[in-house]
Structures are given as structure tokens and as C-alpha cells.
Amino acid sequence: MNRRAEIPTQAFQNFLQAYQGRVLLLADSLGRREIISGYLNEYGLKPVLCDGYPAFLDSGEKFMLGIAALQNGFILTDDHLALVTETELYAAQPRSRAARAAKKSNVEGMLRDLSELKTGDPVVHEQHGIARYAGLINIDLANGQDGGEGEFLLLEYAGGDKLYVPVAQLHVISRYSGGAPETAPLHKLGTQAWDKAKRRAMQQVRDTAAELLNLYAQRALRKAHTFKLNPHDYEAFAAGFGFEETPDQAAAIEAVIGDLQSGKPMDRLICGDVGFGKTEVALRAAFVAAMDGKQVAVLVPTTLLAEQHFQNFSIRFADLPVKIAELSRFRSAKEQTQALQDMADGKLDIIIGTHKLIQKGVKFHNLGLVIIDEEHRFGVQQKERLKALRSEVDVLTLTATPIPRTLALSLEGLRDFSVIATAPQRRLSIKTFVAQAGNGIIREAVLRELKRGGQVYFLHNEVDTITNVLEKLESLLPEARIRVAHGQMNERDLEQVMRDFYQQRFNVLLCTTIIETGIDIPTANTIIMNRADRFGLAQLHQLRGRVGRSHHQAYAYLLVETEALTAQAKKRLEAIQAMEQLGSGFYLAMHDLEIRGAGEVLGESQSGEMQEIGFSLYTDMLNAAVASLRQGREPDMAHPLGVTTEINLHCPALLPNDYCGDIHQRLMLYKRLANCNTPEELDDMHQELVDRFGLLPEPAQTLLDCHRLRILAKPLGISKVDASGESIQIQFIPNPPIDPMKVITLIQSKRHVKMAGQDKLRIELKYGDTAQRVLAIRNFFNELT
């Protein structure tokens, strides 16, 4: 079956006509059977449904559609039976379940979870503004032809106004995240305030979109080096990785190598939790670049991290003709000058360093790849330098908590994005406690760790008072060996302290946030953070990630002064405690967007507009603006999100309670259906529903029909379809993107199609059941295209 052909099922129809015996077509699952049945019906093939092979044998039907997980079909010549599998039917494009699962990466799952709503949460309605979600309710619509029950989202606006939104229209609702939920600016129904806020935001969005596109268009036009890869050498290098790759890690590595070989400049963000193997992705990318004669620069925020990366790289490249150097405070001035000279002369293959690498006057011989570790730790000027680099070379960014700005850009698809969310085997999540600071808890936490032969980080982020804390700890813990590390120490001393801690010469390290990035000490499995309320969310997550790097249970104690806690700090601490599971960096960054408001996402100037309409709607608008500018069109100020189509089929469209009983699950499914933008995505949802809950009851089928019509109506500029038993009304937006001559021809050639006012058509035919109405509307849409 070739979907691009005029009649996609033609080859299969030819087979059915030519074959003398009986044919059984087999789908993977009940859900797939429903999808294929609908698809074949569209092209005039009407198979009789059966459960499987035994039912087929008992029947005498010529053509049946059943269920069996069979990879390849076969013909039984003696019995005159042919079995054809779904895989063979879709030979032009494989539709195996594994392929479908691979297409939906876990990122999608993570983003989807964010649509979980609790009662009282603020939400944004595209047309009416910000309200509070007050639950899912059922209303009986037993007035004449609309008979039956409908399910609605109840939204409460300022002044106690209520709005009931049918579940088939959840695509107009998104979660509000632009500030603290309790201070969300609720709107009043029936006023102009919301339209004004949207207009202001749209103006801003247009400028931002143009700016972003300009930056990325410059990169897209530039050609990058197309890296060549010797599979034999690459496999030998990969074998040096002492662990089995997790599925996410393998996918990220594959994506990076694909980017390097594409001939377009790479700009990929690898978001993986602390200790989830991002370094391996960087090593593989560096290998591909270095073996193809290009230089690699690895940029890290701290000297300690540079040192650790240098050791890691040196070990992995030991057997290869690759020269590596480190540029940081731990190297003497003479060594640094020599490294810079070698780099300019092309004698160096890989250089690892701090921001010294991007200072003015640093010259590369032929730079091919820049790897940036923890980009959010660099300052504004350094980021500007990086931005300039981006347009010329391949850039790979590694981060454990992507800061909201990069996260937002990645979600908008402006940067490529890989998430490593599966933990290495035998890794346990870190147990996190928030507690009032006190001697008892400090002593208990440290001694518990020391008794099992481990080491402890004690974090105190004020260099001025760190000596007082040292004295206090020495009297509280006479059995511990304590040393101090902070950024104002002499480099050599600092390096010595860190190396001694790594070699277990002492067991408690009293330090500032200098340990925040990257040093990997498997025996340190307890961290105590003094005044944890003063740290940002990304920082708390990073610091907590210093422990738990092996298979031992790790503990993080966040000590606070309860009376000095601000509301935001309390929220941050709640978030970090809630995100105890492994791989939560991505969620944390999302959470951060909500807590901090979205001010930093696209620079300070936009934060006002973004808070007024919510981050989610703002990014949707930005996406739409970027898309229209990409197509060379001016963004539509009146309909910033394109056409929002309302479909009313005058009969219940919902997932009935006895089909899917859990109200929370229903809400998530409604939101996911509303997020479907193509018929294929809707087919996948249809299949999932049937596989999880059984065959669709009529109201659920109607709900899917509403979404299918919504997807088909959007490109035609149709804003509303109202289909009753008597007639079908179709409302267009002003100046819809269709040929007016087609509409005139339709009206002239079909007696039942009439104009019903400006931008409105009416189809005057009596339709008894919903299926007939849906078919009539789809046929009408086809004639318009």
C-alpha cells in the first residue's frame, strides 16, 4: 500500500481480484485492526472482521480482517488460503510497532505529563483568557436533537463567571505557567482586556520570531563539514566504553553522529541527568571529528571539571594518534602558551578548557566541533562569543538542567534536542530531606555516612564565614577528618584538596558551590547543604547530583532557617523533593519556568507579555509566527495561532465513565487528543484507546470524529462546523486560504449547498446518524481541496 498513490490500496485490490482463494489480513492488535478497517473502507474494501485464524477457518467469507502478531504472511496452496500481514500491506513505509514506539521519544511523554491539571490550577483559554480549572463535569443536554450527556471542563473566571468547555475543544486550553499559580492574573468574561493582552504579546512574538529565524537561517544556509566515519575504527573506540548504553544514550549518540554527517551545522542540546552518561556522547562526537582531521574544543565552566574531562579523554584516546591538551588555571602559564600555539599550528586535536578558550586572540587551525558542558554557567559575554561560534561550526551542548531559555528554544524545535532519561543499571535515586538546620541532624547524617566508609560534602556558600563553620564542625564531629575548598584559594592548593578527597585521604569536604559541576567521586554519597533556600532550582539539582554516582544509596539534606523562607524558596525546595526520581532534570527545568515566571526565557523585555498570557500560549504563538515567517508570510495578528475550529455534531462526544473510569486519566487523554495535529497522530491515539480500553463506544467514536474534522478543517480556514440532523452550517474565517471559484462552482453545481450569510455556507440535507454527517462533511472538505 503506497499512501502517496492516487488509490493507495490499488496493489492490494489487484491481489484480491487475481487470487482465487480466501484472504485473511492480519493486524498487530485490536487497535490496529480498527484503524486498518476504517482505512480500507475509505477505498471501497469492506473486510469482515474476525478475532483471528480459528475464526477465519470456521467462516466461509472471501476476505476477512483479524488479529495476530505475525511478521510475514504466506499462502497455503492446498487449502487456497492467503495470509497477509500488516507489515506487508504497508511495505512502502514500515509501520511496525517498534518503529512507531521509536518515533515517539520519551520527551513527548515528559511534555505530556505537564498537561496534568489539578483543581484550582490556572489555565489559559485562547479566546477568553486566564481562569482557574474547577474540574470535569457531566451535563445532560437532553434538549431535542442534542440529546444525551456531554462532558465539560468547568473554568472559573474573575468575578465568579463560569465557562463550560466541551472536552472535544480542549485544543483551545493550555496550562498557565508564567508566574506563581496563586498570583495568576484571572480575566473577566466579556471584556476587552484579554484581546489587548494577546495583541501586545503578538507584536512582541513577531519581532522575536524574526530575530530567531534570522540567526538560525544564517546557520541553515551555511554548509558545515560533512564528517566521514570509518565504522571499523568507530566500533573499536565504542568498545572502550565499559558499560552497556542505555536506549536513550544510544539514540542520542546516533542523532549526534547523524548531525555530523549531514553537512549542516549541528546545534544539539543533550539533556541528561547528572551521571547519566552525557560524557560518552561527547567522547563519540569528539572521536568522529578528530579522526576526520578536525579540531575539537571542549568548553567547561570550572577548572575542576576541565581536569576531570582531560583525564577521561586522555584515557579513552590513549591508543589513538590524537593529541589532547588542557587549558585552565591548573596549568602553568608556559604550558598554556604552548597549548595555544600548538592549537593555532594544528598540532593539537582536542583542547579542553574553561572560558579561556573563547577569549579574543585564541586561534584554531581548523576547528570542527565545539562541545559545551553546562552552558548555563557561562556569563552573557561568553554566551555572545558562543553564539558567534554557533553559526560557523558544529555545536554540541551537554546539560543536566537545561536553563529555561535553552529549554524553550529546544521545545520550539529551533535547536535539536535529545533527552537521556534512563538511569544506568543499579543506580538508585537520591533520598532528599528538607529540614530545619540543627547540630543533631548534621551529626547523625555525617556519622551514618562515615560508618559505611563513605565521604560527605558539607556545603556552605559564604567564603567569609567558612572558617567559623569549620570550627563548629570540628567540635561537633571530632571523629571526622575535615578539609576546606573554595574558589578564592590558590589553584595549586585547591587542586591538591580535590585530589586528596578523590583519593579518600579525608572524609568531610567543607566547600562552596565550586563542586557544583562535574567532579565525579563515587565514594561521596551524602551532601548537606546549609541555607539551601538561597540556591536556584538548577543549582540545587546540580549540587544534589554530586552524590549517588555509584550503586550505593545516596542522601541529600537541605538545611533551612524556617522563619526566613520566602514563598519562592519554599516552592523550589518542594519541587526538588518531588523530583526525587532519576532523570528529573528536564522536569525541573520545566518547573523552573513556572516558578520563576518566564522572564528569562527570551530576555527580560518579554517577561511582561509572557506573564500576561502564559508561557504555553506564548510559545504556541511564537511557533505559529516562526512557521508563517518561514513560509514567507507575515504572521496573522488577528489569528495568532491560525484557525481554531469548533466542531459541533449535536450528539455526545466524550469518553464514557464506564469506558475509562479514572477522571485524571480521562483529562490527560482529552488533552492528548487535542494535541494531535495530523491524521496519523490521531490514528495512533485511536489505536492506543482500543488497545487499552477496548472497542470505542459511540460517544468516543464521535469524539475522535470531531478531532479528525478539526484537523481537516484548519488548513481550509474553517472556524466552525455545526452539523444537526436538518443541515450542516460551515463558517469560514475572513479571507480563507481557498480558491473562491471552487466555492462558487460548488454552490452552482449542488442544489443543497447554499450561502447562509457572509463567509458561511449551509448544506441542506437530512442526516439521520452521526456517521452520515461526518462522511458528508469530509466529502465537502475534499471537494474544496
pLDDT at 780: 86
Q: What's the topology of domain 231-420?
A: Rossmann fold (3.40.50)
pLDDT reading at 192 higher than 80: yes
**pLDDT top residue among 749 and 583:** 749
Nearest residue to 429 via CA among 555, 523, 557: 555
Nearest residue to 443 via CA among 477, 467, 470, 468: 477
pLDDT at 231: 87
CATH node for 431-581: 3.40.50.300
CA distance 548 to 555: 8
Q: What is the DSSP string of 606-662?
A: GHHHHHHH-HHHHHHHHHHHHHHHHTT----SSSTT----EEE-SS--S--TTTS--
**Contact (CB, 8 A) for 33 and 65:** yes
What count of Cα atoms within 13 Å lies in the side-chain half-sphere of residue 34? 18
**Contact (CB, 8 A) for 50 and 63:** no
pLDDT classification of 405: cutoffs 50, 70, 90: low
Q: What is the DSSP string of 293-334?
A: T-EEEEE-SSHHHHHHHHHHHHHHTTTSS--EEEESTTS-HH
pLDDT at 110: 42
Poorest-confidence range of 78-92, 253-267, 484-498? 78-92
pLDDT reading at 435 higher than 50: yes
pLDDT at 473: 94
**pLDDT top residue among 123 and 382:** 123
Enter the DSSP assignment of 424. P
pLDDT reading at 134 higher than 70: yes
pLDDT at 63: 93
Average pLDDT of span 194-206: 85
pLDDT reading at 111 higher than 70: no
Please give the C-alpha separations between residue 478 and each of 171, 356, 552, in angstroms, as whole numbers: 62, 41, 25
**Contact (CB, 8 A) for 602 and 405:** yes
pLDDT in tens, 278-295: 889 999 999 999 999 999
pLDDT reading at 191 higher than 70: yes
**pLDDT top residue among 212 and 598:** 212
C-alpha cell at 36: 486498518
pLDDT reading at 220 higher than 80: no
pLDDT reading at 108 higher than 50: no
**Contact (CB, 8 A) for 537 and 561:** no
pLDDT at 131: 92
Average pLDDT of span 135-143: 78
CA distance 196 to 367: 49
Poorest-confidence range of 118-122, 133-137, 590-594, 709-713? 590-594
Domains 431-581 and 643-784 share a fold: no
Q: Name the one residue in this structure whose C-alpha cell is 518561514.
A: 630
Nearest residue to 88 via CA among 68, 66, 71: 71
pLDDT in tens, 171-187: 888 777 766 667 788 99
**pLDDT top residue among 208 and 262:** 262
C-alpha cell at 271: 539533556
**Contact (CB, 8 A) for 326 and 300:** no
- Type of residue at 520: D
Average pLDDT of span 690-697: 90
Backbone torsions φ then ψ of 746, nearest 5 degrees: -60, -45
Give the best-scoring range by mean pLDDT among 141-150, 195-204, 450-459, 531-540: 450-459
Pick the CATH number of 9-100 from 3.40.470.10, 3.40.50.720, 3.20.20.70, 3.40.50.11140: 3.40.50.11140
Class for the domain spanning 643-784: alpha beta
According to DSSP, the β-strands at 149-156 and 129-140 are: antiparallel
pLDDT in tens, 504-545: 999 999 999 887 655 678 899 999 999 999 888 778 887 888
**Contact (CB, 8 A) for 335 and 310:** no
Count of beta carbons in the 10 Å neighbourhood of residue 6: 6
**pLDDT top residue among 411 and 108:** 411
pLDDT at 547: 87
Dihedral Cα 489, 491, 496, 497, nearest 10 deg = 30
pLDDT at 64: 94
pLDDT at 581: 60
Sheet (strand 149-156) strand order: 162-166, 149-156, 129-140, 122-125, 173-175
Angle among Cα 244, 226, 268 to the nearest 5 degrees reads 55
pLDDT classification of 109: cutoffs 50, 70, 90: very low
The residues near 378 (Cβ < 8 Å, ≥ 6 apart) are 299, 301, 355, 372, 386
Give the best-scoring range by mean pLDDT among 91-95, 369-373, 589-593, 670-674: 369-373
**pLDDT top residue among 66 and 412:** 66
Dihedral sign, Cα of residue 214, residue 217, residue 218, residue 219: positive
pLDDT reading at 114 higher than 50: no
Domains of the chain, residue spans:
9-100, 231-420, 431-581, 643-784
Average pLDDT of span 343-363: 88
Mean per-residue pLDDT over the chain, rounded: 82
pLDDT reading at 583 higher than 70: no
pLDDT at 592: 57
pLDDT reading at 371 higher than 80: yes
pLDDT at 354: 87
Q: Name the one residue in this structure whose C-alpha cell is 497477509.
A: 84
**pLDDT top residue among 360 and 364:** 364
pLDDT in tens, 621-636: 877 777 777 777 777 7
pLDDT at 362: 83
pLDDT at 106: 41
pLDDT at 257: 94
Enter the DSSP assignment of 513. G
Please give the C-alpha separations between residue 513 and each of 168, 276, 528, 543, in angstroms, as whole numbers: 50, 21, 12, 8
CA distance 397 to 410: 12
What is the separation, in whole angstroms, between the first and last Cα of the chain? 23
